Amino acid sequence: MSTELAPPVINAEIIERVLLRGDLRQLTPTQKVSYYRAVCESVGLNPLTQPFEYLVLNGQEKLYARREASEQLRRIHHVSIKIASRELVGEIYIVSALATMPDGRTDESIGGRSLDGLKGNDRANAMMTAETKAKRRVTLSICGLGMLDETEVADIPPAARGVISNTPLTPEGERLALAPQDQPAPDGTVRVVEIASAPTKNPNVLKYTITLSSGETVTTINNWIASIAQDACEKRTPVTVETKATRWGTDLVSLKTLADPDRQPAPELPPLSADDIPF
């Protein structure tokens, strides 16, 4: 079975939804795969290495760059990185990284981490993270990719990564609190904190990674279950989950929302042969 990817195809509808609305949630799974491959093609990255992932942030689904993206970009474009400075401002450790291209063009970005209360290895790891963040941010910047890096995503509060910000605004521009979003889920239920999706070896299949309020991370390739999880994430609706352990991790078998339990059971996926496994 050939794993060669077809050339990316982006039609006018996809362009309109992405460029004008700025939200990748409007795309179908097939369109997301096409868009993902087109982004990789435009900057010369290999989509099979999963250089990007999808993330729901403040109610919009966007791509963010993983470590694989910045490392490939530095190699492809011969980007040279030099640490320009390291300083401790209060308890914030700040690193400035300078990037240089072969044509002489330069760019500079900073990365920072709080060292407040950290000692030993934890303090050293935070300092290294600040340096890594600076290097990756300047790499994306000089290569013309205005997107989040995974070190920045890790610093975003989970609530911001999984909550739709569609509540009305006050005259001062502040959002009205219509419901307590951080209220604990009822016993026996959890909340969906965030959903990220990435392409697989099968060009028509997306792998969804779902983070629950219990701290558990589960995956699924079932678009029906993913759509229920997306809706529960946006509305902060408590859900019950059923999982099973597979050789690829913890797979989400069933997800039921208390607000609309009749949406289950999900349609069964056809059996996948060894050649069809998309991971």
How do residues 130-154 score in pLDDT, each as one tens digit?
Answer: 998 999 999 999 988 878 887 777 6
Q: Which residues of 51-71 are buried (b: 16+ CB within 10 A; e: fewer)?
A: bbbbbbbebebbbbbbeebbe
Between CA 151 and CA 138 the distance in angstroms is 13
Q: Would 44 be classed as within a structural domain?
A: yes
Asked whether residue 47 carries a pLDDT value surpassing 90, the answer given is no
Q: Would 278 be classed as within a structural domain?
A: no
* Domain identity same for 175 and 254: yes
Q: What H or E segment, with its residue span, contains residue 128?
A: helix 120-142
Q: Which residues span the domain enclosing 86?
A: 78-142
Q: Would 106 be classed as within a structural domain?
A: yes
Of the two residues 202 and 169, the one the predictor is more confident about is: 202
Assigned token pair, 189: 């239920």
* Domain identity same for 171 and 252: yes
Q: Would 240 be classed as within a structural domain?
A: yes
Q: Would 151 be classed as within a structural domain?
A: no
* Domain identity same for 82 and 63: no
Of the two residues 278 and 31, the one the predictor is more confident about is: 31
* Domain identity same for 111 and 166: no
Calculate mean pLDDT across residues 46-53: 84
